[in-house]
Amino acid sequence: MKIIFTVLFLVNVSTIFPQVNIESLRKELGHQGFSGSLDLGISIRTGSVNVQEISAKTHINFSQPKFYLLLIGEGNLGWQGGKRFSNSGLAHLRFVHRLRTDVQPEIFVQTNYNSQRKLLERYLAGVGIRINAINTESQLFSIGLSGMYEFEKLKELNFYEENITYSNWRWSSYINYGLNISEGVKLSNISYYQPMFDDFSDFRLLNNTQFSFKFIEPLRFNFTFSLLYDDDPPSGVPVLDTRTRFGFGLSF
């Protein structure tokens, strides 16, 4: 098993997004067996604000010639002025059938919560298909389309003083591109679009861009920028969230 441990410094994190970036964790090009990663993040900001944040992310991937399983867990805690202002977590499980090298049906389930976005509970399940247009040692270009059912409970009260709940059907489509620029230097970009089945004006957008390079074997420097746009968030929650992260990775 190959395990990757990463400790992140100089981190500026707004929140853990309700969508998870599955594409950055997939194993391509015939990898078989177990693999995994563990990321730990610490952020301290002082001056006009006094903010401390701790984040953790782990994934386990089991790959075989005809299928693979992907299990992901994330968590985040944040304090501002000595008081906790954010608390979020996520678990995601996905099964992918390698029908062909370029066509891969998949099913997935997920649960998550995020206090900063007033999300008390969220459960979803979906099924879809992924198409690899390019899958070589130097480049990867793929697109995917799936349908998913989601249930959400928000930290907002209705007329009866009960937490508001929503049950929705959504499309989830993505475009993924990865490039090995040179030995040890990689660039990847993934964009998700998730509209309602019956109302395309109600949608979410997620974009993740990552640049990484090895500077001292086996150390790697990572730069990641993530963006989340929710067209219809809970009241008081911004429609746009961004995250910028700088870090170092150690793999063995």
Contact 129, 104 (CB under 8 A): yes
- Beta-carbon-side half-sphere exposure of residue 65 (alpha carbons within 13 Å): 0
Q: What are 102-120's pLDDT values in tens digits?
A: 899 999 999 999 887 888 9
CA distance 37 to 35: 7
Q: Please identify which residue in the block is written with the tokens 């989601």.
A: 150
Here the tokens at position 60 are: 């386990």
Give one word for 144, left, alpha or beta, with left for phi > 0 and alpha for psi -120 to 50.
beta
Which amino acid, 208?
A: N
**pLDDT tier for residue 15 given thresholds of 50, 70 and 90:** very low
Q: What are 24-69's pLDDT values in tens digits?
A: 565 544 567 888 777 776 665 554 456 677 777 788 889 888 998 9
Which domains are assigned to the chain? Answer: 2-251 (2.40.160.40)
Here the tokens at position 52 are: 């401390």
58-67, 76-85, 109-118, 203-212 — which is least confidently predicted? 76-85
Give the 3-state DSSP-derived string for the chain, with helices as H, strands as E and coil as C.
CEEEEEEECCEECCCCCCCCCCHHHCCCCCCCEEEEEEEEEEEEECCCCCEEEEEEEEEEEEECCCEEEEEEEEEEEEEECCEEEEEEEEEEEEEEECCCCCEEEEEEEEEEEEHHHCEEEEEEEEEEEEEEEEECCCEEEEEEEEEEEEEEEEEEECCCCCEEEEEEEEEEEEEEEEEEEECCEEEEEEEEEEEECCCCCCEEEEEEEEEEEEEECCEEEEEEEEEEEECCCCCCCCCEEEEEEEEEEEEC
- Cβ burial of 112 (10 Å; 0-12, 13-18, 19+) is buried
Here the tokens at position 46 are: 């002082």
pLDDT of residue 123: 97
CA distance 173 to 184: 29
User: Of the candidates 207, 204, 210, which has an alpha carbon nearest to the alpha carbon of residue 246?
Assistant: 210
CA distance 178 to 187: 6
pLDDT of residue 29: 47
Q: What are 124-137's pLDDT values in tens digits?
A: 999 999 999 998 88
pTM for the whole structure: 0.79
Q: Please identify which residue in the block is written with the tokens 């007033």.
A: 118
Checking if the pLDDT of 75 tops 60, the result is: yes
Average pLDDT over residues 76-86: 76
